[in-house]
A and B are shown apart, each in its own frame.
Chain A
Amino acid sequence: MGILEVKGVNKRFGGLQALGDVNLSVAENTVHAIIGPNGAGKSTLLNVLVGKLIPDSGSVMFDGQSVLGRKPHEINQMGISRVFQTPEIFADLSVFENVMIPCFAKRDGAFRMHAIESTHHEKDIAEQAMAILEDVNMADKRDMIASSMSRGDKRRLEMAMCLVQDPRLLLLDEPTAGMARADTENTIQLLKDIRTKRGITMAIIEHDMNVVFSLAERITVLAQGTPLVEDVPEKIKGHPKVREAYLGEAQV
């Protein structure tokens, strides 16, 4: 029984069957990658997992509780954090404030009228925020305004914002999309470090095979809305069905 259980999920947009009978189980403490060609339904699946889309049928259970019909903030409070394809950060705020906000969300819940006390008196929160910034090597940038950083740093910051909440499941939507080679390598390294240091369960949606094969412990291949195969990376590489999905049918 995995921490995240997707059972029989269907989603149709008009005439397009975006997801057809998707079954998926993400085991605790593993890195599970979901790959597939363009239009395979990867992002749709991710949006179902975070409550942005409600499937026509099927169930999505996180640790025994259904996530369907819950609002994004409720799903986050259950312990699922999400990293977006284009970094979603608080661009007008300083890096330090960016990581303090998730700390407050974790400690105080979805809403707290906390209007008189000064932010500066929250020593615990500041310590947590500082610790995570050191973990992702951004301690020296704490006073920078987030929007003035490079794309790679924004991604790093977004990950720090997710990690500081100690999520039970981290969803990553193409974490290296649009990145230069060096930034991609850095991100892979960062994710590996996170993995060894914190042992967080991760589900990665990715295009880049390099990223997938250097991180994932289990891979699900999605094509035309249905999972083709699910296996360990070694067996996925040469799998005929996977080649077929990516390269088209063999012309024999």
Chain B
Amino acid sequence: MLGLNSRDLKLFLLVVAMTMLAPILLNPFPADSALGESFNAGYPALLQRFVIFGLLVIGFNILFGLTGYLSFGHAAFLGVGSYAAVWMFKLLSYNVIPAIILSVIVAGIFSVVIGYVALRRSGIYFSILTLAFAQMMYAIAYSDLVGKFLGTIVTNGETGLQVYADDPQILASPGDPVLPHLFGLEMNAQTVLAVGGWEFTFQFGYYLSALVMLAGFYLSIRIFRSPFGMMLRAIKSNQTRMSYTGLDTKPYMLAAFVISGCYAGLAGGLMSSMDPLTGGERMFWTASGEIVVMSILGGVGTLIGPVLGAGLIKYLENIISKINDGILHQWFAFMPDWLDNLLVTIIHPFVGKGWHLTLGLLFMAVVIFLPGGLMQLGEKIAALFGRKTKSDDDAKTGATEPAE
């Protein structure tokens, strides 16, 4: 079905179900409980981030996972996509369709140019070239160099690009919402479902992003299983043999780079559609680094791994950074005071603003003990519990599975 083999189809349907039910699944605790306030992740702003960053790393994985070329400037494409989308809001209307389409096109154009230059080198030199390009673009965007040169606003520098009341919006009709919408349906339109103590919020913007992400995920499965995907893995494996087999590696690499740049642009367009405001910091090198960390944490080269990595990082970023000493004291309230204070002192550096420290430890643990990322953890657990089913699966699909 859908042109996928049974295993891929199962995975795809699982992801569909998870994303569709995410507002429920990620709200396991009643809204008013202490646990709910701290650990519930099923609120629209975070859910949007899950799927948008998921889309971003799905695209990144087509480049890094299949060809092994580590782009360290992928956030640049996210940034140009965001700017392109906001410009569409400013010029045409708040409808997200032209914004999303243009963000893909603009990111595609940028990735053709950058890819053409950066792909002249491989390995670390390729990474450095992409990093340099991204930092240049960040600097240009952050100081609005192009705008100053043209005597107008292009990225609006440090303030960030946003829509003002006097913008042309030539396609907007008077009754339109003044926020991004899809033919009148606002992105932040939402339905709240209260069941007992639980509250589930279903937001239109999240579902739109999720559908785009699912389409992107489906396309990436097709690419992974196509002859093109096989060629990309061949490039990772042995470029010498590749060219002596009569295949030109350059266009294959460039195509992979552009596809992954377009994914990033699409993610940027969606980001702007959820919140029509963008700034240069979206292109900063730490943002590019985060994409790499997400992919490695989840499992490079696996279909779903990077998405899990993106989800985990965004979860930690939002959940752990929310935990403060007050919440910690609340948790340990049943303990004697001295123990309570001691525990809070120990945990304090790892929560709140220190969430990066937790992330760093986690990243180190994964790289050292699970070089295959979370996916390897999954495999290990599966091997522990169901040795038999696992080996059956392998026998059936051994020919199609890439070496990971």
Taking Cβ atoms with an 8 Å cutoff, the residues of A that contact B are 50, 71-73, 76-77, 81-82, 84, 88-94, 96-97, 100-102, 104-106, 108-120, 122, 142-143, 145, 161, 165
Which residue in chain B gives the minimum CB-CB distance to A122? B227
Q: Find out whether the CB atom of A101 lies under 8 angstroms from the CB atom of B399.
A: no
Q: Which residues of A contact B403 (CB under 8 A)?
A: 92-94, 145
Give Cα A50 to B240, complex, Å.
12
B228 at the binding interface (Cβ < 8 Å): yes
Give Cα A91 to B242, complex, Å.
12
Q: Which residues of A contact B244 (CB under 8 A)?
A: 50, 72-73, 76, 81-82, 84, 88
Given contacts A91-B238, A120-B400, contact A110 B246 (CB under 8 A): yes
Q: Find out whether the CB atom of B227 lies under 8 angstroms from the CB atom of A114.
A: yes
A-B contact pairs, 9 of them (CB 8 A): A88-B241, A91-B237, A100-B230, A110-B247, A111-B251, A115-B255, A119-B225, A119-B400, A142-B399
Given contacts A94-B399, A118-B225, contact A111 B248 (CB under 8 A): yes
Q: Find out whether the CB atom of A116 lies under 8 angstroms from the CB atom of B222.
A: yes
Given contacts A90-B237, A93-B234, contact A118 B245 (CB under 8 A): no
Interface majority SS (helix, strand, loop, mixed), chain B: helix
Q: Which residues of A contact B227 (CB under 8 A)?
A: 100, 104, 108, 112, 114, 117, 119, 122
Q: Which residues of A contact B225 (CB under 8 A)?
A: 118-120
**On chain B, which size bracket covers the interface?**
35 or more
Give Cα A165 to B241, complex, Å.
14
Q: Find out whether the CB atom of B246 lies under 8 angstroms from the CB atom of A90.
A: no
Q: Which residues of B contact A90 (CB under 8 A)?
A: 233-234, 237-238, 241-242
Which residue in chain A gives the minimum CB-CB distance to B238? A90
Give Cα A115 to B236, complex, Å.
17
Give Cα A89 to B399, complex, Å.
17
Q: Which residues of A contact B248 (CB under 8 A)?
A: 71, 73, 110-111
Q: Find out whether the CB atom of B230 lies under 8 angstroms from the CB atom of A92.
A: no
Which residue in chain B gives the minimum CB-CB distance to A161? B245
Q: Which residues of B contact A97 (CB under 8 A)?
A: 230, 233-234, 399
Give Cα A94 to B236, complex, Å.
14
Looking at the complex, which one of B4, B233, B240, B247 makes contact with A92 (CB distance below 8 Å)? B233
Q: Which residues of B contact A72 (CB under 8 A)?
A: 243-244
Q: Which residues of A contact B222 (CB under 8 A)?
A: 115-116, 118
Give Cα A106 to B247, complex, Å.
9
Which residue in chain B gives the minimum CB-CB distance to A77? B246
Q: Find out whether the CB atom of B245 lies under 8 angstroms from the CB atom of A101.
A: yes
Give Cα A71 to B236, complex, Å.
20
Given contacts A73-B248, A161-B245, A165-B246, contact A104 B237 (CB under 8 A): no
B252 at the binding interface (Cβ < 8 Å): yes
Q: Find out whether the CB atom of B228 lies under 8 angstroms from the CB atom of A73.
A: no
B5 at the binding interface (Cβ < 8 Å): yes
Which residue in chain A gives the minimum CB-CB distance to B219? A116
